[in-house]
A and B are shown apart, each in its own frame.
Chain A
Amino acid sequence: MSHETQRGADETEDRDGTFGRYGGQYVPEALMPAVQELEDAYERYVLNNVDGFVDEFRRRLRDFGGRPTPLQRADRLSDRLDREVYLKREDLLHGGAHKLNNALGQVLLAKYMGKERIVAETGAGQHGTATAMAAAHLDMPCEVYMGTRDIQRQRPNVFRMRLNGSEVNPVSAGRGTLKEAINETMRDWATNVEDTHYVIGSVVGPHPFPEMVRTFQSVISEEARAQVQEQAGQLPDSVVACAGGGSNTMGTFHEFVGDESVDLFAVEAGGSSLAVDEETGVAPNSASLSTGTEGVLHGARTKLLQDSDGNVVESHSVSSGLDYAGVGPELAHLVDTERVTPVNVDDDEALEAFHLLSQEEGIIPALESAHAVAFARANPEQLGGLTVINVSGRGDKDLESVIEETENRELENAPGMDIFERAAGGSGGGL
C-alpha cells in the first residue's frame, strides 16, 4: 500500500464517542464494562498498534483477504455518462464484499483481548459469512444470529457459514430480519459478556463500534485515494457509495472527508416509496438519512425510521443488505453538517443498474452496490468530471432475488427472463 498512514493519530476528535449530536452508549448496564473494555482495547491495539496488531491485521488482509483491491476505470460507463468513472472493486475482496475488512479486524482484536467466543448478527448473510470466514481463519468459535426470513431468502450464505464451522441461530421475533437479529445478538452478548466478543457488522451500535468499524473499513478509501491519484493524476470530483447501516459508505468516504473539493454521495434504498405507513408500522424503504428522525436504536443516538411514538418501524429494500431502520451516527452527523449528501434510488432503478453493470462492464454487482451505480447513472451532472463508485460486493448472492424481482417488473434493460426458466424451475421453495 503506497498510501501508508498511521491511522488514528489525527482522529482524536471523537474520544467521548459522539459525532455532533449522535452516537453514545445506550446499552444495558451488564454490557457497559464490556463496551469500556473494548474502548480500551481499540485504543491500545487498533489506534496505537500495541503488540503489532495493525501490522498483523494488514498482513492478513493482504494474504487472506486479497487486498489491495483494484480501482478500475469503467470504460463503457465512462462513455455512457460522458465523464471518467472509476470503480473501487470491493467485490473482489475474499468473500465477495467489503465486510471482511471489519470482520477480520474485530475477530483479530477479540483474540488480542483474550476473548474465547465470537457472536455476530447478519441480515443478508454477508457479514455473517465474513465473520464465519474470519473466525475459521483465526480459530475462534463463532455463532451467528439470523432472522428466519433472511435464512429462507439467503440459504447459500447459511451453508457458507456452516461450512466454515459457525453455528447459525434462527431468530423468529418480529419480521425475522436484521433488526431482530441485532437484538438477539445483544442478548447473547449480555449473557456471555465475560468471554464473548460481539462482532457488529456495521458502523452502528454503542461507542466504540461506529468509530472502530469505520477505522477497519477505511482501508477502502485509503487505497482508492492513492489509486485514483496514481491512475488519473488527480483527486475525484465525487465519491459514491450505497448506505444501509453505512460501513462501506464510511469506509469509502473517510479518507476523502478532509478533501473539500470531493463531493460525497450516500445512496440509500428508496424501496418502493419514501413514505412511512403508521398503521402497519412499515416503511417501504430504508432511507433513514433522507427521511429518518433522531432517536436511540441499538446503542446509539442516530437517525432512524420510527413512528410518531418512537417505535422503530420495519424497513424495506429489494436489497437485504440495505434493509435497516437505522444508520451509523457518524454518517448521520456528516449529513447534518452537509459534508455528505444523502440521495436515494428506488428498487427499479437499482435493478436496472444491476443489469447495466452486468451487461456493459462484465461485473455482476451486489444489489446494494447497484444502488450506487443507479444514482450515478441517473445524475451524471452531479458527479463532476471524475467519480469513484464503490462496488461494495458482488451479486452472486442476489441472483435468485434478481430473477424473481425482474420478472415482476418492467425494466428497460432486463434480459428476457425465460432464459432462467430451466435454471430456476424445480427449485421449489428454495427462493
Chain B
Amino acid sequence: MNLADAFDEPAFVPYLCVGDPSVERTREYVQALVRGGADVLELGLPFSEPIAEGPTIQGSVVRALEAGTTPEQYFEFVDSLDVDVPVVCMTYYNLLYQYGDSEAQRASDASGEAASDGPESFVERAAEVGISGFVIPDLPAEEAGPLRAACDDHGLDLVFIVAPTTEGDRLERMVELSSGYLYVQARLGVTGAKADVSDQTEASLAKVSQYDIPKAVGFGVSSGDQARHIVEAGADGVIVGSALVDVVAEHGDPDGDDVPERLEAKARELSEGVAAGAENMAKPEGQ
C-alpha cells in the first residue's frame, strides 16, 4: 500500500506497541483504532533500550517484552492483520541489525570474519508481511545508507524524524533520503502526551514546507483540539502515541475491560480533530 497516498487528505496516524499486554489484545486495539478513523498505523516492535521514548511508551515496551514479544511474532501479527490501512514499523536499529542469520553471525564472530549482513533480512521479511515503511528513531541519516538501500530493493518507505534542531545541509540530506512522509518532531525531548500545541510546531512545519513530501507531526499530541490546530498549521498528518498507550496501560480491569471501546473513542476524537482542521484549511482557499 502506498504510504504517501494515505496523506492525500490530512491523516490520523496512531501508534501502539505490539504485544502490550499481549499480541492478541493488540489485534483488538488496532481494529478499534481503525474503526475510530486511523489512516496509517505506526506499530511499535519492542526493543529493550527505547532511548527516544518518554515514560508512557517505555512502560508499554517493557510490558510487551515481558509478555515475550519477539520480532517474528510481530511479523506474524502484521501478516495476519485484516485492516485496510498501511502499517509502518517503528523500532530501533539493533533489532533490524540482528534479525535473521543470528546463528550464522555468531559463528562468523567466533571465527573473526565479517558478521551481520545488516538490515537486509529484516526488510525482506517486513516486505513479505506487508509492512509499508519504517521509523527508526536511533538511525540518523548519516548511518542510514544500508537501510535505505534495502528499503529501495524491497519497495518500502523509510521515514525520518525532523527534529527542532535539524537544519541546513542535514535537513536537505534527510529529505533526500526520506520517502512516505516526514515525521516532524513537535518539540525537543522524548515522546509523551502534552496538553498544549508546541510553539515549535509552526516553525518546524515552515522549515519543511518547501519539500514535496507529506509532513506528519508527532511528540506530545493528545487531544482532538491539538490535532485540529496542527492540521491548520499545515500538517498533512498527526501522529499520536502516548495518549493512546495511556488507555492501553489501564487494561485488565476485573470487571471486563473496555480498552477497545475507549481506544476507539479516543481515536475518533483525534481523527475528527484532523478532519475539522482539514475542513478549516479548505475553506479560505476552497473553490
The answer for the CA separation of A163 and B109 in the assembled complex, in Å, is: 46
Partner of B188, one of A27, A32, A191: A191
Given contacts A30-B188, A32-B165, contact A310 B47 (CB under 8 A): yes
Given contacts A26-B93, A293-B106, contact A187 B165 (CB under 8 A): no
Q: Is the CB of B109 within 8 A of A294?
A: yes
Stretch at the interface among B137-145, B222-230, B235-243: B137-145
Interface mask (A329-341 → B, CB under 8 Å = 1, otherwise 0): 0000000100000
Interface mask (A166-199 → B, CB under 8 Å = 1, otherwise 0): 0000000110000100010011001111100000
Partner of B190, one of A21, A34, A187: A187
* Residue of B48, B95, B106 contacting most chain A CB atoms (<10 Å): B48
Minimum C-beta distance from A205 to chain B (A): 11
Partner of A26, one of B103, B105, B140: B140
Q: Is the CB of B106 within 8 A of A192?
A: no
The answer for the CA separation of A192 and B137 in the assembled complex, in Å, is: 18
Partner of A29, one of B71, B92, B166: B166
Minimum C-beta distance from A179 to chain B (A): 7
A-side contacts of B143, CB under 8 Å: 24-26
Judge if A429 is at the interface, Cβ distance under 8 Å: no
Given contacts A29-B163, A32-B165, A336-B112, contact A296 B190 (CB under 8 A): no
| CB-based nearest B residue for A184 | B51
Which residues of A (1-55) have their CB < 8 Å from a CB of B? 21, 24-34
Is the interface on chain A under 10, 10 to 19, 20 to 34, or 35 or more residues? 35 or more
A-side contacts of B94, CB under 8 Å: 295-297, 306, 310, 312
B-side contacts of A194, CB under 8 Å: 165, 188
Which residues of B (58-90) have their CB < 8 Å from a CB of A? 58, 62, 65, 70-71
Judge if A309 is at the interface, Cβ distance under 8 Å: yes
Partner of A312, one of B48, B62, B105, B185: B48
Interface mask (B168-203 → A, CB under 8 Å = 1, otherwise 0): 001000100000000001001110000000000000
Given contacts A29-B185, A173-B58, contact A190 B190 (CB under 8 A): yes
Minimum C-beta distance from A376 to chain B (A): 26
Q: Is the CB of B140 within 8 A of A294?
A: no
Given contacts A311-B48, A312-B49, contact A27 B138 (CB under 8 A): yes
* Residue of A29, A30, A33, A293 contacting most chain B CB atoms (<10 Å): A29
Q: Is the CB of A30 within 8 A of B163?
A: yes
Given contacts A30-B188, A32-B142, A179-B49, contact A309 B71 (CB under 8 A): yes
Partner of A295, one of B98, B162, B166: B98
The answer for the CA separation of A206 and B48 in the assembled complex, in Å, is: 18
Q: Is the CB of B114 within 8 A of A186?
A: no
Judge if B282 is at the interface, Cβ distance under 8 Å: no
Q: Is the CB of B165 within 8 A of A26?
A: no
Judge if A377 is at the interface, Cβ distance under 8 Å: no
B-side contacts of A24, CB under 8 Å: 142-143
Interface mask (B140-168 → A, CB under 8 Å = 1, otherwise 0): 10110000000000000000111111110
B-side contacts of A191, CB under 8 Å: 188-190
The answer for the CA separation of A428 and B142 in the assembled complex, in Å, is: 52
A-side contacts of B167, CB under 8 Å: 33
Partner of A294, one of B116, B161, B189: B116
| CB-based nearest A residue for B69 | A309
Given contacts A25-B140, A336-B112, contact A190 B52 (CB under 8 A): yes
Q: Is the CB of B95 within 8 A of A310?
A: yes
The answer for the CA separation of A394 and B62 in the assembled complex, in Å, is: 36
Judge if B54 is at the interface, Cβ distance under 8 Å: yes
Minimum C-beta distance from B127 to chain A (A): 19
Minimum C-beta distance from A268 to chain B (A): 16
Judge if A308 is at the interface, Cβ distance under 8 Å: yes
Q: Is the CB of A294 within 8 A of B115?
A: yes
Q: Is the CB of A294 within 8 A of B170?
A: no
Minimum C-beta distance from B126 to chain A (A): 15
Judge if B102 is at the interface, Cβ distance under 8 Å: yes
Q: Is the CB of B170 within 8 A of A33?
A: yes
Partner of B161, one of A28, A183, A298, A336: A28
The answer for the CA separation of A25 and B115 in the assembled complex, in Å, is: 19
Given contacts A191-B189, A293-B106, contact A186 B51 (CB under 8 A): yes
The answer for the CA separation of A8 and B189 in the assembled complex, in Å, is: 34
B-side contacts of A186, CB under 8 Å: 51
A-side contacts of B97, CB under 8 Å: 294-296, 310
A-side contacts of B138, CB under 8 Å: 26-28, 296, 299
A-side contacts of B93, CB under 8 Å: 26, 296
* Residue of A28, A191, A192 contacting most chain B CB atoms (<10 Å): A28
Partner of A183, one of B51, B106, B109: B51
Minimum C-beta distance from A183 to chain B (A): 5
The answer for the CA separation of A187 and B143 in the assembled complex, in Å, is: 20
Minimum C-beta distance from A23 to chain B (A): 10
Q: Is the CB of A28 within 8 A of B51?
A: yes
The answer for the CA separation of A294 and B102 in the assembled complex, in Å, is: 10
Q: Is the CB of A25 within 8 A of B142?
A: yes
A-side contacts of B163, CB under 8 Å: 28-30, 32
B-side contacts of A293, CB under 8 Å: 98, 102, 105-106, 109, 115
The answer for the CA separation of A308 and B106 in the assembled complex, in Å, is: 9
Minimum C-beta distance from A174 to chain B (A): 8
Partner of B139, one of A26, A33, A336: A26
Q: Is the CB of A29 within 8 A of B102?
A: no
Partner of B47, one of A190, A192, A311: A311
The answer for the CA separation of A24 and B50 in the assembled complex, in Å, is: 18
The answer for the CA separation of A95 and B98 in the assembled complex, in Å, is: 40
Partner of A32, one of B62, B70, B170: B170
A-side contacts of B48, CB under 8 Å: 174, 281, 311-313
For the complex of A and B, list the 6 residue pairs with the smallest distance between their C-beta atoms, beginning with the closest: A310-B98, A191-B189, A30-B163, A311-B48, A296-B94, A29-B163
Besides the known contacts A294-B97, A298-B49, 18 further A-B residue pairs in the complex with CB atoms under 8 A apart: A25-B140, A26-B138, A27-B140, A29-B160, A29-B161, A29-B174, A30-B166, A33-B165, A34-B165, A173-B58, A187-B52, A187-B189, A191-B190, A293-B98, A296-B93, A297-B49, A311-B47, A311-B48
* A residues with CB within 8 A of B: 21, 24-34, 173-174, 179, 183, 186-187, 190-194, 281, 293-299, 306, 308-313, 336
* B residues with CB within 8 A of A: 47-52, 54, 58, 62, 65, 70-71, 92-95, 97-99, 102-103, 105-106, 109, 112, 114-116, 137-140, 142-143, 160-167, 170, 174, 185, 188-190
